[in-house]
């Protein structure tokens, strides 16, 4: 039985227990959240990964995506990225390779870390079809399902599957008549090209029962992909994106009814004044299924710093109720990330998730402790509390103050020290 089926029966599984312990919430809270489709735990019967709860009432989780490209195939670098992702606190990893031996790379990454690993099976199905036939439009329908099963057999815990791009979605896009930034989802682009050329329905939609059966067999989480997500601020929240969201939310219900845990994915590029509407829509239409925000990137004009544009979007998304955010690295839109970029992306996303949770759940204890440590000029405690311990320590140690109680920002005129010396009797901590 799946985690969802067991939760509906009232059974508490070891995974639910681990999540409840990590999140410091009652066991029943996790079990009931899963039973209601509001919480998921990425899983696979073939691989034991760390139990990570995603959804309502749990801390916002961060995904790091890695993977080769057709230009850069460096297995050792991808393994290093996977290790960096785990070391710097990503909650999940998506292995999205598109270059080299995709089965071998995935299997090596799965062995390298113990985080739940996700994938986008349409990449491999499309790329292997292009390698064999020279074009994605000759991709065989059965082959998509074979690839999906192969990846699940290997131990993939959650998959972004592009089921919601159907003929209705494409009709919305056609009638809208524009897309300033085109289609930027690779899976979305592959499937759109296949459907338009073959004049056929998306098999992931027309044979959705088959998709559901596979996820049920391996007890994995189905993440309904956002193939129509905007790749430009001027395309955000358009008819095609919302049409796909509606279809994904209908499919989410269908999969949940069959006992499969589901996440619904969101955009993309969005100006900050549309983020709340996107979260409300997804939550309302999906009966509060976990919402996975890809970024979102909040301006198009900061290449090189898109980990920052996305962190701004992720913090707001989380504060409005998004449950899961995908990091963005500095080379987004420019190049394949290096391990150092993965680290920067994860740290930015973790800061964003924390800021979101400060609003969503009033999780502010750590900030209070930091205020007290700063007031006491307790540098050890400040480093310990920092999300970015290593960086904070490195900066401080490189510019050591003459008075070790202060820092070189104000030196002997340290405001905190002056006030502490004058008003020790007023100290509140």
- Which segments are annotated as binding site for [4Fe-4S] cluster? 407, 410, 414
Residue placing its CB nearer to ligand SF4 in the complex, 254 or 408 = 408
How many whole angstroms separate alpha carbon 313 and alpha carbon 319? 10
Site residue total, ligand SF4 (CB under 6 A): 7
* By CB under 6 A, residue 77 contacts ligand SF4: no
Least separation in angstroms between residue 181's CB and ligand SF4 is 42
Residue placing its CB nearer to ligand SF4 in the complex, 79 or 414 = 414
Place of tokens 């005129």: 413
* HSE of 429, CA atoms in CB hemisphere, 13 A: 12
Judged by CB under 6 A, the residue of 415, 421, 423, 425 near ligand SF4 is: 415
Strand partners, 54: 40
Query: Residue 164, Cβ neighbours under 10 Å: how many?
Result: 30
Return the closest-CA partner of residue 194 out of 203, 183, 185. Answer: 203
* By CB under 6 A, residue 407 contacts ligand SF4: yes
Least separation in angstroms between residue 377's CB and ligand SF4 is 6
Give the distance from CA 129 to its chain's centroid. Answer: 27
* HSE of 190, CA atoms in CB hemisphere, 13 A: 29
Which tokens go with 213? 């059966």
Pick out the residues of the known binding site: 94, 123, 162, 185-187, 226-229, 265, 269, 292, 333, 407, 410, 414
Which among 37-45, 52-60, 124-132, 402-410 is the span making contact with ligand SF4, rule CB under 6 A?
A: 402-410
* By CB under 6 A, residue 416 contacts ligand SF4: yes
H-run or E-run covering 63: strand 61-66
Least separation in angstroms between residue 408's CB and ligand SF4 is 7
Least separation in angstroms between residue 376's CB and ligand SF4 is 11
Which among 126-134, 245-253, 310-318, 405-413 is the span making contact with ligand SF4, rule CB under 6 A?
A: 405-413
Least separation in angstroms between residue 343's CB and ligand SF4 is 26
DSSP codes joined into one string, 226-271: -TT--SSGGGTT-HHHHHHHHHHHHHHHHHHHTT--EEEEE-SB--
Strand partners, 65: 94
Q: Summarize as ranges the residues that interact with ligand SF4 (CB under 6 A).
A: 406-407, 409-410, 414-416
């Amino acid at each position: 039985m799946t985690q969802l089926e067991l939760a509906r029966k009232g059974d508490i599984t070891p995974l639910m227990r681990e999540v409840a312990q990590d999140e410091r919430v009652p066991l029943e809270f996790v079990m009931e959240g899963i039973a209601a489709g509001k919480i998921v735990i990425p899983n696979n019967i073939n691989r034991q990964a760390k139990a990570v709860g995603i959804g309502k009432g749990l801390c916002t989780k961060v995904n790091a995506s890695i993977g080769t490209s057709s230009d850069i195939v460096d297995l050792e670098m991808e393994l290093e990225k996977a290790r960096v992702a785990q070391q710097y606190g990503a909650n999940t990893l998506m292995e999205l390779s598109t270059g080299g031996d995709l089965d071998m790379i995935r299997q090596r990454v799965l062995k390298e870390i113990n985080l739940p690993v996700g994938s986008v099976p349409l990449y491999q199905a499309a790329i292997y079809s292009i390698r064999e036939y020279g074009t994605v439009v000759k991709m065989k329908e059965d082959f998509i399902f074979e690839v999906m099963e192969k990846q699940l057999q290997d131990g993939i815990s959650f998959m972004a599957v592009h089921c919601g791009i159907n003929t209705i979605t494409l009709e919305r896009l056609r009638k809208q008549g524009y897309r300033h930034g085109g289609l930027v989802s690779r899976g979305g682009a592959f499937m759109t090209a296949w459907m338009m050329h073959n004049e056929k329905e998306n098999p992931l939609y027309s044979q959705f029962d088959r998709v559901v059966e596979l996820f049920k067999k391996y007890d994995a989480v189905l993440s309904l992909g956002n193939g129509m997500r905007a790749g430009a601020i001027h395309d955000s929240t358009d008819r095609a994106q919302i049409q796909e969201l509606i279809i994904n939310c209908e499919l989410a219900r269908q999969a949940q009814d069959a006992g499969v845990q589901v996440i619904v994915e969101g955009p993309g590029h969005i100006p900050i004044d549309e983020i709340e509407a996107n979260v409300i829509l997804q939550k309302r239409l999906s009966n509060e299924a976990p919402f996975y925000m890809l970024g979102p990137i909040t301006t198009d004009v900061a290449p090189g710093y898109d980990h920052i544009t996305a962190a701004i979007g992720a913090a707001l998304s989380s504060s409005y109720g998004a449950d899961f955010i995908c990091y963005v690295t500095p080379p987004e839109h420019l190049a394949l990330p290096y391990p150092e970029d993965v680290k920067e992306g994860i740290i930015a996303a973790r800061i964003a998730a924390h800021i979101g949770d400060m609003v969503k759940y009033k999780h502010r204890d750590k900030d209070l402790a930091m205020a007290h440590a700063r007031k006491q000029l307790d540098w050890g405690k400040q480093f310990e509390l920092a999300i970015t311990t290593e960086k904070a320590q490195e900066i401080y140690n490189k510019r050591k103050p003459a008075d070790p109680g202060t820092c070189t920002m104000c030196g002997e005129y340290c405001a905190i020290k002056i006030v502490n010396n004058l008003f020790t009797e007023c100290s509140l901590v």
